Amino acid sequence: MDFLNSIKVLPKNTRIFVVRAGNNARYREIFETESKVFLEIPGVTPIADFIEKGDSEHIRKLLQRSMDIIRKKEPKSLEDYDGNKTLVAPLLGSFVSLYAKARKGDLILVPNIGYQAPFLIGEVISDFSDDDTLFLNKYQGYKIPYREVRWLSKDINKKKATTELSDKLKNRKAVIEITETAIKKEIFGYAYKKYVYNDSSKACLSGAKYNGKNLQGIIDTLQAVQILMEKLGIQDDIDVKINFNSPGNINIFGNGSKAIIVAAIVSSCLAGATYADTKQDLQESEIVQECQDSPILDSLDEKTYQEVCDKTQKAEKEIQLEVP
């Protein structure tokens, strides 16, 4: 089943960081257009070996020298710096978060100025290397290390975010880590159409032809989802959120892999798959098995499957229902 093969499975140790694009978001355009996120720390490379060894004293000295470069002071030999902990403590924490803690697959959020301005959500695509450096015109001759990302979302604004996430985006520190599970799940929901993370999942049903008037397609889709929830006995494990904007979409959040199961059955109906093949594919799915959700499929019968297919195929004609 193609749908199951395209699900983003997020490791339990996936981390999320908020990285500011300099004072007044001065580097945000570079972040967005070049898919590179960095701290304004010229002249600190090479650093990969010292990060690997956890040599904090050497890194503190590099950061001290970088601060001299930023202040347009002649940088001294590295041995002449004392690695003053108090002086570089705030910068050191941000440095360690972005260049040492953030790993391939982790997420980075970049806020913008203003309540309506969208924030960026990106996925780190590789672990840090000393080759990952760039030059800024104002620091000619001094390299700046960066992290390369793949932008997943560029159009979510703080107004849409929960108060808890919005507060994180307002934080004035250069880098902070988001550790609260509820906020992490909110961010995953913005970043991915469908995912499984720890004990939760999300999937999306969309209608490209929905224009705010043809409600019947949305109604048929919701009825199909309701039929499945009742038949599988998972009403208390699913949360359905509807976006009535054009084009419309329905986001399904669930415990375990239950949101994925519902969306997968809808996807199979739209693809014309048989009841037997759909049930077998789901029961054999590693995602479903790892979440220990296979038993709920025992209650899915062919009559219910066909009823769901009738509803979703009507919705496909009415609003071009699909499962992205």
Instruction: Give the DSSP letter string of 221-281.
Output: HHHHHHHHHHHHT-GGGEEEEEE-SSSEEEEEEEETTHHHHHHHHHHHHHHT--HHHHHHH
Specify the DSSP element, H or E, that contains 146. Answer: strand 144-157
Q: What is the pLDDT of residues 14-53, one digit of tens each?
A: 999 999 999 999 999 999 999 999 999 999 988 889 888 8
What's the pTM?
A: 0.91
pLDDT number for residue 99: 95
pLDDT number for residue 259: 97
CATH number of the domain to which 8 belongs: 3.10.590
If asked whether residues 179 and 262 sit together in one domain, one would say: no
192, 224, 240 - which closes a domain: 192
If asked whether residues 210 and 176 sit together in one domain, one would say: no
If asked whether residues 269 and 157 sit together in one domain, one would say: no
Domain range for 149: 2-192
**Dihedral of CA 273/275/281/285: which sign?**
positive
Whole-angstrom Cα distance, residue 323 to residue 144?
42
192, 213, 239 - which closes a domain: 192
If asked whether residues 74 and 49 sit together in one domain, one would say: yes
Number of domains in the chain: 2
Q: Nearest-CA neighbor of 103 among 11, 2, 231?
A: 11
If asked whether residues 179 and 277 sit together in one domain, one would say: no
If asked whether residues 175 and 307 sit together in one domain, one would say: no
If asked whether residues 181 and 255 sit together in one domain, one would say: no
If asked whether residues 7 and 148 sit together in one domain, one would say: yes
Q: What are phi and psi of 115, to 5 degrees?
A: -70, -35
What is the chain's pLDDT, residue by residue, as a tens digit (324 residues)?
789 999 999 999 999 999 999 999 999 999 999 999 999 999 998 888 988 888 888 999 999 999 999 999 999 998 899 887 777 888 999 999 999 999 999 999 999 987 778 999 999 999 999 999 999 988 878 999 999 999 999 988 888 899 999 999 999 899 999 999 999 999 999 999 999 999 999 999 999 888 877 789 999 999 999 999 999 999 999 999 987 676 778 999 999 999 999 999 999 999 999 999 999 999 999 999 999 999 999 999 999 999 999 999 999 999 999 999
If asked whether residues 256 and 289 sit together in one domain, one would say: yes
If asked whether residues 154 and 279 sit together in one domain, one would say: no
* Cis ω for the linkage preceding 46 (within 30 of 0): yes
If asked whether residues 18 and 51 sit together in one domain, one would say: yes
Is 123:105 a contact under the CB 8 Å cutoff? yes
pLDDT number for residue 50: 86
175, 192, 209 - which closes a domain: 192
pLDDT number for residue 246: 63
If asked whether residues 20 and 146 sit together in one domain, one would say: yes
For the record, the structure tokens of 295 come out as 């038993």
